[in-house]
Amino acid sequence: VATLCPQPLLPWTSLFPSPSPVLVYHPLVLLTHILGLFLIHVLFLICIQAHPDTEVHTISLYNGLKSLMPLWVQVQNFRKAIEEIMNQSPEGVHLLCFSQGGVICRAVLSTSPNHNVHTFIALSSPLAGQYGDYLMKAFPNCLKELVYLVCYHGMGPEISICDYWNDPHHRADYLRGNTFLPLINGEKPHKLMKDWRENFLRIKKMVLIGGPDDGVITPWQSSHYGFYDASEDVVEMRNQEFYKRDTFGLRTLDARGDVSMCVQSGVEHTKWHSNITVFNNCIKKWLI
Ligand SMILES: *[C@@H]1O[C@H](CO)[C@@H](O)[C@H](O)[C@H]1NC(C)=O
């Protein structure tokens, strides 16, 4: 495995659009990932302009290469930062999370019993996992078909991407070897599932944003909880097992009418947070 798939080639910063910030509103917390702060600040400014009276906090942790740290470690520290803001905002906050940040936020919501997040906005996040060539730049000389060997059997727990690498051709390995996404999405039963579902369902609204021209999130429908089946056909959210079995609260949230989906074409992954049309169509109305 080691010779087939050497250590990820650095710098990873070139692979990722922005830090994994959260933006909190109401106040809004903005959490994005992965590269410098600049892009997140664009979104920050757009939000401030649209809602001048709203406090906006950005959380900037694990930027650049550090964004590759294992997600459970990142979740722990993002949770601390978000909790601090929530404690100052008893009326509740909105949470806007970009890219890998959305996966982190999902985990924070499920593992925080007393959170007061009203609206959770996931901006182009691989919520159902990632199985695509783009991130393969990180594994030179390695076929995406082989990444599962690294992620589920090798260095998996040490690198963030493996935490949401979801190889549709190696389902059993994914369930056994991935210690993050299958737990968060309740695909692998565990004893905290019921608590995690309750915690997650404290949110009042979830807004899912993504689109076919993203170019990084693969399949792009993962931003809307769709994912590949074993034939690499995309199965939409409502036909996913985790939805049908309501393993983490998604079906309940949807039945409540609290899942909002926003699909936007013509937006590349690195452009989501600076695109004013996306903001106006998909985000603005929720930041109240
Ligand atoms: C901005 O988003 C709209 C759709 O919301 C898209 O048509 C347009 O191409 C995007 N512009 C850029 C620069 O990404």
pLDDT tens across 57-73, in order?
777 777 767 777 888 99
The number of the ligand 1 atom at minimal distance from the alpha carbon of 275 is: 1
Residue 103 confidence (pLDDT) above 70: yes
Q: Which domains does the chain have, with CATH numbers?
A: 12-23+34-209+230-261 (3.40.50.1820)
Rounded to two decimals, the pTM is: 0.87
Tokens of 207: 């807004």
Query: Which pLDDT value is given to residue 287?
Result: 80
Per-residue model confidence as pLDDT tens digits over 188-224: 999 999 999 999 999 999 999 999 999 989 999 999 9
Instruction: Label residue 136 by pLDDT band (50, 70, 90).
Output: low
Query: Which pLDDT value is given to residue 161?
Result: 84
Angle at 267 between CA 61 and CA 213, to 5 degrees: 110
Residues 248-264 have a mean pLDDT of 98
Show which residues are catalytic.
Answer: 99, 214, 269
Cα distance between residue 243 and residue 175, in whole Å: 17
Ligand 1 pocket by Cβ (under 6 Å): 264, 266-267, 271, 275, 277-278, 281
Nearest alpha-carbon partner for 265 in 124, 171, 121, 146: 124
**Ligand 1 midpoint to CA 231 (Å):** 31
**Ligand 1 midpoint to CA 272 (Å):** 8
